[in-house]
């Protein structure tokens, strides 16, 4: 099949997938599964429509060019990647259709009080957060990296060199992973509880926000900073509206504002942090969001299995991020993929589909798709019983997971907010009230307290 035919077929698949996601959001109380499938289509799958037709030097901040763009011009690489995306979208369509018809729409979780169990678990979360931050920031390199952060660089190469410095400083056992769980998951959950407690908790809410931002800043990466800003602002705004006000809001326009706001933040980081002009920042921001995710995947579909053998079905869930941390020197790392596909010592982070392909080809793609969608469905089982406002709050807390969805393995996504936040909120909740009259669900909930 020619590239033109594949392009048309992929465009039709995208239109059908987006339509199904919107339909599922309008018909079902479930929100995580359709939202993340839609996010994957927008941030990754759509890029395959135009990435093969752009030049490899279209990103101003990459001096040597984005070599993976040229890989997508290879027919077999482009076909493999398209097929992997179609498999995921087909499986997701089955999940969406199934949950739309089977979702229970007559229940709502209402937390009317804080029980001793609730308080104890909340205290445990705070203790974990304190321990992880002390370990990483004061006993590890976190504070040094935070204080040495520079907002402005004279060139992209200087900014990239500074980011590489972080990789050289970090090593196993310093607590970076636990601190990231605290920054992106635990602190936002605690902030949500503070926001719902009213104005008297504003100080605690913004304190949690600053602590999360501190970790995001010291990573020297752009997406964590943008994600933290969007997440906390969304939680703060949504928590200040009553149920009746939420239902009156034009949610389509709000989504558009969030998307435009995120793009402005991304473009702004390239201008101020990388020292690029506004025009180059615009091209870099748009390219990084909509083109880079799918082109990074191309490296995996090029390397496996033609150069490296498939890594095995059990390795479809994860890939070593930094070779010196790897316990298995025989396994392929993201640096090995970059070295072979690009001929450079850089790294190639790609989505769970690419990592699944590297493990067992299309079988790995099917397996990771089923597990990821199954976990989102399970998380939605709790979330769908929440009222409108709380469902939107859970979705807002899941914003950082979008980055994991298109640039990390299945293991990386599992440890993200989309899975952990619903679990934590379920552990923090205590009272389940089933209201049979769907028309009175929100009215009954309004009389009670939220999460």
Range 415-435 average pLDDT = 65
Angle between helices 202-218 and 222-239 (to 10 degrees): 170
Q: How far apart are CA 373 and CA 254, in angstroms?
A: 26
Contact present, 388 and 247 (Cβ < 8 Å)? yes
Note whether residue 68 is domain-resident.
yes
Cis, peptide link before residue 229, omega less than 30° from 0: no
Distance, CA of 334 to chain centre: 19
How far apart, in Å, do the first and last CA atoms of the chain sit? 53
pTM of the entire structure?
0.85
**DSSP code of residue 320:** B
Note whether residue 419 is domain-resident.
yes
Which has more pLDDT, 292 or 165?
292
> Which residue, among 18, 19, 77, has the nearest Cα to 46 in the 3D structure?
18
Contact present, 379 and 424 (Cβ < 8 Å)? no
Note whether residue 122 is domain-resident.
yes
Note whether residue 51 is domain-resident.
yes
Q: Give the three-class secondary structure for 360.
A: helix
How many CB atoms are closer than 10 A to CB 358? 28
At 1, is the pLDDT very low, low, confident or very high (cuts 50, 70, 90)?
Answer: low
List C-alpha distances in Å: 414 to 29, 121, 149.
Answer: 22, 21, 29
Q: How far apart are CA 317 and CA 408, in angstroms?
A: 10
Distance, CA of 157 to chain centre: 26
Note whether residue 322 is domain-resident.
yes
Q: For 136-163, what is each residue's pLDDT tens digit?
A: 999 999 999 999 888 887 777 777 777 7
The pair of three-digit structure tokens given for residue 221, joined into one six-digit string: 């990466």
How many CB atoms are closer than 10 A to CB 299? 24
Domain count, the chain: 1
Give phi and psi for 146, each to the nearest 5.
-70, -45
Q: How far apart are CA 20 and CA 37, in angstroms?
A: 10
List C-alpha distances in Å: 196 to 199, 206, 231, 396, 421.
Answer: 9, 13, 15, 14, 16
Q: Give the three-class secondary structure for 329.
A: coil
Q: How far apart are CA 304 and CA 162, in angstroms?
A: 31
The pair of three-digit structure tokens given for residue 70, joined into one six-digit string: 């040229």
Which has more pLDDT, 13 or 256?
13
Note whether residue 451 is domain-resident.
no
Rounded (5°) CA angle 127-130-131: 85
pLDDT given at position 419: 79
Residue 390, H or E segment: helix 388-397
Note whether residue 141 is domain-resident.
yes
> Residue 213 belongs to what domain range?
3-446
Say what the alpha-carbon torsion angle 371, 373, 377, 379 is, to the nearest 10 degrees.
70
What secondary structure does DSSP assign to 113-134, as a single string? S--HHHHHHHHHHHHHHHHHHI
- Residue 416 CB-half CA count within 13 A: 28
Range 30-51 average pLDDT = 92
Note whether residue 131 is domain-resident.
yes
Q: Which segment of 59-73, 286-300, 337-351, 432-446 scores lowest on mean pLDDT?
A: 432-446
Pinpoint the alpha helices (H) of 41-185. 47-50, 68-72, 75-102, 116-133, 142-147, 156-169, 176-181
> Which residue, among 445, 447, 425, has the nearest Cα to 435 in the 3D structure?
445
The pair of three-digit structure tokens given for residue 49, joined into one six-digit string: 């429509």
Contact present, 194 and 234 (Cβ < 8 Å)? no
Range 210-219 average pLDDT = 94
Q: For 219-259, what is each residue's pLDDT tens digit?
A: 888 889 889 998 998 888 888 765 556 566 666 666 677 77
Which has more pLDDT, 277 or 326?
277
Say what the alpha-carbon torsion angle 284, 288, 294, 297 is, to the nearest 10 degrees.
110
Q: Which segment of 30-39, 293-302, 314-323, 424-433 scores lowest on mean pLDDT?
A: 424-433
Q: How far apart are CA 180 and CA 219, in angstroms?
A: 10
Q: For 394-404, what is each residue's pLDDT tens digit?
A: 888 898 888 88
| Mean pLDDT score of the chain | 81
């Amino acid at each position: 099949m020619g590239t033109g035919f594949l392009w048309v077929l992929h465009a039709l698949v995208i239109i059908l997938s987006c339509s199904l996601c919107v339909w599922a959001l309008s018909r079902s109380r479930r929100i995580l599964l359709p939202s993340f499938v839609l996010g994957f289509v927008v941030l990754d799958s759509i890029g395959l429509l135009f990435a093969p037709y752009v030049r490899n030097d279209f990103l101003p901040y990459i001096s040597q060019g984005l070599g993976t763009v040229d890989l997508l011009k290879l027919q077999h690489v482009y076909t493999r990647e398209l097929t992997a995306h179609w498999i995921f979208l087909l499986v997701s369509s089955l999940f969406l259709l199934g949950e739309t018809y089977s979702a229970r729409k007559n229940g709502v979780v209402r937390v009317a009080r804080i029980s001793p169990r609730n308080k104890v678990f909340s205290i445990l979360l705070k203790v974990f957060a304190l321990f992880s931050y002390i370990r990483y920031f004061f006993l590890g390199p976190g504070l040094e990296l935070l204080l040495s952060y520079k907002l402005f660089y004279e060139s992209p190469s200087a900014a990239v060199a500074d980011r590489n410095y972080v990789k050289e400083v970090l090593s196993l056992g310093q607590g970076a992973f636990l601190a990231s769980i605290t920054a992106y998951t635990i602190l936002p959950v605690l902030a949500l509880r503070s926001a719902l407690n009213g104005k008297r908790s504003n100080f605690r809410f913004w304190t949690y926000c600053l602590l999360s931002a501190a970790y995001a800043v010291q990573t020297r990466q752009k997406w964590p900073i943008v994600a933290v800003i969007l997440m906390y602002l969304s939680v703060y705004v949504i928590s200040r509206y009553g149920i009746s006000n939420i239902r009156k809001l034009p949610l389509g326009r709000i989504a558009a504002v969030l998307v435009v706001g995120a793009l402005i933040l991304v473009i702004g980081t390239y201008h101020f942090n990388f020292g690029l002009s506004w025009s180059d920042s615009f091209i870099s921001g748009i390219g990084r969001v909509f083109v880079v995710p799918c082109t990074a995947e191309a490296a995996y579909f090029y390397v496996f299995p033609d150069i490296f053998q498939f890594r095995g079905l059990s390795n479809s869930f994860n890939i070593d991020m930094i070779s010196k941390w790897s316990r298995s020197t025989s396994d392929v790392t993201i640096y090995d993929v970059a070295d072979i596909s690009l001929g450079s010592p850089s790294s190639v982070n790609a989505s769970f589909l690419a990592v699944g392909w590297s493990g067992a080809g299309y079988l790995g793609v099917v397996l990771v798709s089923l597990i990821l969608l199954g976990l989102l469905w399970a998380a939605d089982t709790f979330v769908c019983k929440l009222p409108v406002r709380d469902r939107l709050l859970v979705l807002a807390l899941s914003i950082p997971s979008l980055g994991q969805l298109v640039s990390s393995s299945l293991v990386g996504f599992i440890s993200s907010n989309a899975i952990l936040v619903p679990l934590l909120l379920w552990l923090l909740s205590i009272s389940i009230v089933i209201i049979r009259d769907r028309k009175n669900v929100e009215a009954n909930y309004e009389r009670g307290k939220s999460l």
